Chains A and B, each alone.
Chain A
Amino acid sequence: MDSPAPYFHWGFILFSVPNLVVTGLMLAFFGVALIAPFPTRHGTKSKKQNQ
């Protein structure tokens, strides 16, 4: 904890690994939230929604 964080350095891109991990997790979370089914009141989608 007392040592500097390692950095990812590629050309002009300079990213600390902790920031890279958080950003990656946020992107993954966003992707999952987009595609994961949302539970409905009765556990199934309504007929109207499926039409």
Chain B
Amino acid sequence: MSRAQPEEPTGGGWTGTIRNQIAGRLPLEELLPTRQPDYVRSWVYLFGAITIAALIWVMASGVVLAFFGPQWWHRSSIGRFFNSLHFWGVQVFFVFLVLHLWTQFWAAGWRDGRGPTWVIGVVAFLTSIVAAFTGYVSQQNFDAQWIAVNAKDAINATGLGAIFNPLNFGQAYGIHIMLLPVVVVLLVAIHIALVRMKGVVRPIGAPAPGVSGAATDDTEASA
């Protein structure tokens, strides 16, 4: 008995509409490409990838820290080790995020319909700063207290003091481990999906792929 072949999507219903939209805008060959345009052969294009690697590192070490708690990460040697992994992962994350930002700024990465990619990247950057801040005030040490006491005045000055108190460990820690990681990962996922949909921006002045004189040792550019 032969197995029935799946029918072509007809677009019926909201699930079919969403499926067709995703398949049309972001097919698998664009999401997971095996080749890239020639101009991607530069070290500067690794900055974004290293930032993502650091984010994965930070998330993984953060899960371990959240599981065992502050006493563990301050008092045991393995806890201090994971605390350091988390801290230095964040340093690597921000260093390469800023290098990626410099690259995209000087390459005018918002060109050719990539405005949303740029804006979501900026929003992800700003959200990451808030995530880092809530992490600093969640350390449960004198450093955290010093930062939180100073930040209290700044937060009050913005008018947000009534809803966010950096001296409130539970509030800062909850936001740090529950709310902001989800937001950052979601924004980064959308950012990467947009990069894959639009492709890597061409260097300024470079002819479009397929045009005579362009570097063409690639598959069709995704732009």
Q: Which residue numbers of A lie inside 8 Å of B, CB to CB? A: 22, 26, 29-30, 32-34, 36, 38, 40, 46, 48-49
Contact = CB atoms under 8 A, between A and B. Distances in A.
B102 A30 contact: yes
A23 to B, nearest CB: 9
B3 interface: no
B43 A49 contact: no
A38 B38 contact: no
Contacts of B215: 48-49
Contact of A38 (B43, B102, B216): B43
A20 B81 CA distance: 27
Given A30-B102, A38-B43, 12 more contacts: A26-B98, A29-B99, A30-B44, A33-B44, A34-B43, A36-B43, A38-B42, A48-B38, A48-B217, A49-B38, A49-B41, A49-B215
The SS class assigned to the B binding surface is helix
Interchain residue pairs A-B with the least CB separation, the first 6: A33-B43, A48-B217, A38-B41, A46-B217, A33-B44, A49-B38
A34 B42 CA distance: 7
A33 B41 contact: no
B82 interface: no
B47 interface: yes
Given A38-B42, A40-B41, A48-B216, A22 B95 contact: yes
A46 B218 CA distance: 11
Contacts of B103: 30
